[in-house]
């Protein structure tokens, strides 16, 4: 979210939160970054809006509790993405018994042809859901959240080479799966 | 489809499928409501002082049964431990209510 030129920077808002427990400043940080964090989690959860928002809330609450741990070396958004990915990975580990499936397409309009974009999106979500969580995260961070490989590697706490391997592997799997779609 | 076209097609698909921009729709308020309660060091210290004072006075001014107050009797020392424990419990209740 773009902020006006005279708006406080993220660093200033963080300082206010840390020094005065300024909830309004934290609210401003949430407002600025909620879209990206929720978007990231929606993609990671295969479009499950309810689960994604639940995880996004957990992400911001963890961020609030751990704000003193933010060193300012990386962008605040990258730090949030890192928390969001960790929240997602821990939730994913907890529900590994039940394999994640993308949400089914609504069948209400059975007589109508679904637009190609919707079908395409559903196919992609289905293919994304079959990827390993780290591969999915690597792909989503670099494509949808438009992070550089270096930034995404920081978020996923792995070397850049490993990140690139995750992305390449994920794309290869996606390509294979999407080619199988009739 | 050759390799380059394949790559471009997949890139386009990923970027199109993954739109950005989610409206706030009350998300910020939900987060703010779930934040832990504020730290209130001054108010808590004040609450502790008042609670301790009230508890101590109440105990010390109790009649002992010999016609004198605890304040002026030898029982005051014996009441120190229960007084402290009672004060701690009372402060915990007051602190969680304020």
pLDDT score at A135: 92
Q: What are the distances in angstroms from CA B80 to CA A42, A81, B49? A: 59, 54, 16
A10 vs B18 pLDDT, higher one: A10
Closest CA to B57 of B42, B70, B66, B39: B70
Rounded to a whole number of angstroms, the distance from the CA of B96 to the nearest CA of chain A is 19
The Cα–Cα gap between B54 and B86 comes to: 11
Q: Quote the ipTM score.
A: 0.72
Task: Name which of B6, B15, B28 is nearest A34 (Cβ-Cβ).
Answer: B28
What are residue B69's phi and psi, to 5 degrees?
-85, 155
pLDDT score at A43: 85
Instruction: Reply yes or no on whether the pLDDT at B43 is more than 70.
Output: yes
Instruction: Reply yes or no on whether the pLDDT at B45 is more than 70.
Output: yes
Instruction: Reply yes or no on whether the pLDDT at B93 is more than 90.
Output: no
B95 vs A56 pLDDT, higher one: A56
B73 vs A146 pLDDT, higher one: A146
Strand partners, B69: B63
B14/A124 Cβ within 8 A: yes
A87-98 confidence digits (pLDDT tens): 999 987 766 544
B81 vs A89 pLDDT, higher one: A89
The Cα–Cα gap between B34 and B19 comes to: 28
pLDDT score at B64: 61
Instruction: Reply yes or no on whether the pLDDT at A136 is more than 50.
Output: yes
Instruction: Reply yes or no on whether the pLDDT at B76 is more than 90.
Output: no
Is the CB of residue A13 less than 8 Å from the CB of residue A25? yes
Residues in A closer than 8 angstroms to B28, CB to CB, are 27, 30-31, 34
Residues in B closer than 8 angstroms to A125, CB to CB, are 17
A166 vs A121 pLDDT, higher one: A166
A53/B20 Cβ within 8 A: no
A117/B16 Cβ within 8 A: yes
pLDDT score at A134: 92
The Cα–Cα gap between B63 and B69 comes to: 5
Is A20 in CB contact (< 8 Å) with chain B?
no
Task: Name which of B6, B10, B34 is nearest A57 (Cβ-Cβ).
Answer: B34
């Amino acid at each position: 979210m773009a902020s006006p030129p005279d708006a406080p920077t993220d660093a200033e808002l963080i300082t206010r939160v840390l020094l005065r427990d300024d909830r309004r400043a934290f609210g401003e940080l949430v407002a600025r970054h909620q879209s990206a964090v929720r978007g990231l989690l929606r993609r990671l959860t295969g479009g499950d809006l309810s689960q994604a928002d639940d995880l996004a809330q957990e992400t911001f609450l963890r961020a609030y509790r751990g704000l003193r741990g933010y060193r300012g070396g990386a962008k605040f958004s990258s730090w949030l993405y890192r928390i969001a990915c960790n929240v997602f990975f821990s939730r994913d580990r907890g529900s590994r018994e039940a394999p994640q499936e993308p949400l089914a397409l609504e069948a209400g309009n059975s007589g109508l042809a679904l637009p190609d974009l919707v079908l395409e999106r559903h196919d992609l979500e289905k293919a994304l859901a079959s990827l390993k969580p780290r591969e999915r995260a690597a792909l989503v961070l670099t494509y949808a959240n438009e992070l550089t490989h270096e930034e995404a590697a920081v978020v996923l706490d792995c070397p850049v080479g490993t990140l690139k391997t995750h992305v390449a592997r994920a794309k290869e799997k996606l390509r294979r799966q999407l080619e199988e779609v009739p | 489809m050759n390799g380059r076209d394949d790559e471009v097609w997949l890139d386009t698909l990923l970027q199109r499928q993954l739109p950005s921009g989610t409206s706030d729709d009350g998300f910020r308020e939900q987060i703010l409501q779930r934040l832990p309660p504020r730290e209130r060091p001054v108010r808590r210290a004040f609450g502790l002082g008042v609670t301790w004072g009230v508890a101590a006075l109440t105990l010390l001014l109790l009649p002992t049964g010999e016609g004198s107050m605890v304040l002026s009797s030898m029982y005051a020392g014996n009441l120190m431990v229960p007084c402290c424990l009672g004060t701690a419990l009372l402060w915990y209740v007051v602190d969680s209510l304020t």
